[in-house]
Homo-oligomer: A and B are copies of this chain.
């Protein structure tokens, strides 16, 4: 498991930098450039929202056409460039072209990420000046600057790293992400950029990313809202010069999953208004998909999340949320534990209230992370999702976001 808060850099073969170009009214860093020395293999996983932002449409097109020749990602916060029509697409294209000119590469070697308010056009004047700044030195260097530049309502940057020994060589995986609201499985207002020096072609790279995302970012819910801009990108510089066989790709995928899970947990913990991470594990499902559906239903329930916020061991809400998930379980076989396995308190056994000390159950819900484990008693399917508690601060943050 990679450390959530360790020192963060970028994978060999990459550089990162960021500037403040004025897209954030606060004057904070808001434009990041991640670039590689040579062409990279790249993979992407995108929002499944029917309404897709211009940079999502643009990146899909580029990755279809040129998945082995990517040189850079240019990412801005402060404006999502979503619901902006043809002008939005032109702005995304123009952003890539400006970055390409600064780097001395082709426009179709540059991917674009945007996050922020929907329905406003990018301020191309500020962006142009920003990209000049990234090229000429008025920039802040390093991956941490890039990780900070893409934040919106986040309170802290999210970074994760993993290292892998394979075939006598060493492979680095380095990721950073943003996301605090409009977060729900299927990807949400979250952006993640993971770099690696592994030598992987686009197809296995895409396979590794899809697998990692399915058990990390797609297991994440802050508010059930799925964004128009969600994107996870994985870029491989091949600088490690280690070729991976099938077992190596599996090991790489596992390490990548660890990085993405760490980022997903950091996003959940930093959910808008959140005071702590909530981890919900459902076991005993007919299969993993069924366990996931039930865990997701619990993670979406505002009543469960407000109860956890208050340390209220109101397990009836957990059972009710499981009950409307659509999974055809037998209520009389449910077991619900609060807390990690080694110190868990069983609050429901066989669908009925167990005997427990309310204050002790409440104390477990006040831990960070708060852990809930529900067994459906049907099979061996298991899934874990991450969310956060739900506080009044969430409302305060979201009632006046654009105005």
A contact set with B: CB distance below 8 Å: 48-52, 80, 82-85, 117-120, 181-182, 184, 186, 223-228, 300-303, 306-307, 309-317, 319-329, 331-332, 348, 350-353, 358, 362, 390-396, 398-403
Docked CA distance A372–B204 (Å): 45
**Taking chain A's interface residues, is the majority helix, strand, or loop, or is none over half, making it mixed?**
loop
* One of B223, B227, B351 near A83 (C-beta < 8 A): B351
* Sample of 22 A–B contacts (CB below 8 Å): A49-B324, A50-B324, A50-B325, A50-B326, A50-B328, A50-B329, A51-B331, A83-B353, A85-B332, A119-B316, A119-B348, A184-B324, A225-B302, A225-B321, A226-B323, A228-B316, A228-B323, A307-B399, A312-B401, A312-B403, A391-B395, A395-B395
Which partner residue on chain B sits nearest A229 by CB separation? Answer: B320
Task: Please give, as numbers and ranges, the residues of chain B lying within 8 Å of A117 by CB-CB distance.
Answer: 314, 316
Check B226–A303 contact: CB distance below 8 A. no
Docked CA distance A398–B312 (Å): 9
Docked CA distance A350–B84 (Å): 11
Task: Please give, as numbers and ranges, the residues of chain B lying within 8 Å of A303 by CB-CB distance.
Answer: 181-182, 223, 225, 398
Task: Please give, as numbers and ranges, the residues of chain B lying within 8 Å of A224 by CB-CB distance.
Answer: 224, 300-302
Check A119–B315 contact: CB distance below 8 A. yes
* One of B118, B315, B348, B399 near A309 (C-beta < 8 A): B399
Copy count, this protein chain: 2
Docked CA distance A394–B228 (Å): 27
Docked CA distance A135–B143 (Å): 75
Minimal beta-carbon separation of A381 from chain B (angstroms):
16
Check B313–A403 contact: CB distance below 8 A. yes
Check B358–A302 contact: CB distance below 8 A. no
Task: Please give, as numbers and ranges, the residues of chain B lying within 8 Å of A400 by CB-CB distance.
Answer: 310, 312
Check B83–A51 contact: CB distance below 8 A. no
Minimal beta-carbon separation of A64 from chain B (angstroms):
20
Check A307–B50 contact: CB distance below 8 A. no
Check B320–A403 contact: CB distance below 8 A. no
Docked CA distance A214–B401 (Å): 35
Check A83–B118 contact: CB distance below 8 A. no
Minimal beta-carbon separation of A227 from chain B (angstroms):
6
Task: Please give, as numbers and ranges, the residues of chain B lying within 8 Å of A314 by CB-CB distance.
Answer: 117-118, 401-403
Docked CA distance A332–B89 (Å): 13
Which partner residue on chain B sits nearest A294 by CB separation? Answer: B50
Check B50–A395 contact: CB distance below 8 A. no
Docked CA distance A50–B350 (Å): 15
